[in-house]
Amino acid sequence: MKVLIILLSLSVMYQDSSSTIFDFKNAKNTSNWYVVNDGVMGGLSKGTLSINNLGNGLFQGYVTTDNNGGFSSIRYEFNKKDVSKFKHLIIKVKGDGKDYNFRIKEKSSQRYSYTSTFKTTGERQTIKIPLSSFYPSYRGYNLDKPNYLAGVMEEIAILVGNKKKEKFSLEIESIVLD
């Protein structure tokens, strides 16, 4: 009995060391995510989010600079989450060799995001980004505010916009705080 209590205690302790924001394999759908393309400002880029045959999220499409465009993004809103005990964001992805931008909002209604760029290699990757490295940005401009203080979070987004015409494909397995 004593061994069982110790094992249960250790199990709870290890479960608390990370927090899943989204795991596509467990969720099995993308209904809580939405796509925002540059059409909101007249652009012609197109991105979609679906579940692939491996059960991962697949964010794909094309970005074009035609008509003053140049980005596609996916966003996920959730109930306010206390993230004060976490130091890193960990994303498991398989990219296409392009740079992507990960964004965090403390409140889904705030206009600006805290942002950090990550590079993909074309292989499966586990990318660990310090939360303190996310800097405030609005429409591509850095703001004169402190970096993300990792208190609360209500929205995340992934954006591609490399200022050139290109197809993109990013397979996402999970997004976790650690």
Q: For each of the domains in the chain, give its residue range(s) and CATH number, in order of start.
A: 19-177 (2.60.120.430)
pLDDT in tens, 95-125: 999 999 999 999 999 999 999 999 999 999 9
The answer to whether 127 and 90 have CB atoms below 8 angstroms apart is yes
The whole-number average pLDDT for the span 151-160 is 98
The whole-number average pLDDT for the span 86-92 is 98
The whole-number average pLDDT for the span 154-173 is 96
Measured CA to CA, the distance from residue 152 to residue 110 in angstroms comes to 13
Q: Is the pLDDT of residue 12 over 60?
A: no
Question: Per-residue confidence at 17, pLDDT binned at 50, 70, 90?
Answer: low
| Coil vs helix vs strand at 85 | coil
Please give the distance of CA 95 from its chain centroid, rounded to a whole number. Answer: 13
Q: Is the pLDDT of residue 2 over 70?
A: no
Which residue in the block uniquely carries the two structure tokens 């008509």? 67
Confidence at residue 165, expressed as pLDDT on a 0 to 100 scale: 94
CA separation, residue 12 to residues 6, 102, 178 (Å) = 10, 29, 15
Six-digit token string for 178:
């650690």
pTM for the model: 0.89
Q: Is the pLDDT of residue 15 over 50?
A: no
Confidence at residue 163, expressed as pLDDT on a 0 to 100 scale: 87
Q: Is the pLDDT of residue 14 over 60?
A: no
The answer to whether 111 and 78 have CB atoms below 8 angstroms apart is no
Q: Which of 17-26, 77-86, 111-120, 137-146 has the lowest mean pLDDT?
A: 17-26
Question: Per-residue confidence at 166, pLDDT binned at 50, 70, 90?
Answer: very high
